[in-house]
Amino acid sequence: AQTVTQSQPEMSVQEAETVTLSCTYDTSESDYYLFWYKQPPSRQMILVIRQEAYKQQNATENRFSVNFQKAAKSFSLKISDSQLGDAAMYFCAYRSASDMRFGAGTRLTVKP
């Protein structure tokens, strides 16, 4: 089975600063997708950004961007100009035709 590892249980960032959340994964499949989800205290899962494995270009969504290193099986999330509303649990996720896995999560705190 594929594994997804988030090595940072907690991260903290000053408002307006930039923070990077790490994620690595292990797979032998060639066709898969990677995601970052945000889970605020309401516990509603919100898609932040997604990356198709076959695309070399890193995905970006406004203040959110990823650094996808396929050979290294790394998929980090960069949040620029952090806002108080970014405070939440962030989960890295892997999806293929045969599997759906989430990392353990990183709790992000944003300091005013």
Partner 1 sequence: GAVVSQHPSWVICKSGTSVKIECRSLDFQATTMFWYRQFPKQSLMLMATSNEGSKATYEQGVEKDKFLINHASLTLSTLTVTSAHPEDSSFYICSASLAGVRYEQYFGPGTRLTVT
Site for partner 1 in 14-73 (CB under 8 A): 31-33, 42-47, 50, 52
Q: What is the CA radius of gyration of the chain?
A: 13
Going from the C-alpha of 47 to that of each of 1, 34, 71, the distances in angstroms are 23, 11, 24
- Comparing C-alpha atoms, which of 34, 18, 3, 5 is closest to residue 108? 18
Residue 11 interacts with partner 1 (CB under 8 A): yes or no: no
For partner 1, the closer CB: 56 or 112: 56
| Minimum gap (Å) between residue 67 Cβ and partner 1 | 21
Of residues 84 through 103, those in contact with partner 1 by CB under 8 A are: 91, 95-97, 100-103
Determine if residue 44 is left, alpha or beta; phi over 0 gives left, psi from -120 to 50 gives alpha, anything else beta. beta
* Min dist. Cβ of residue 105 to partner 1 (A): 5
Chain residues binding partner 1 by CB under 8 A are 31-33, 42-47, 50, 52, 91, 95-97, 100-105
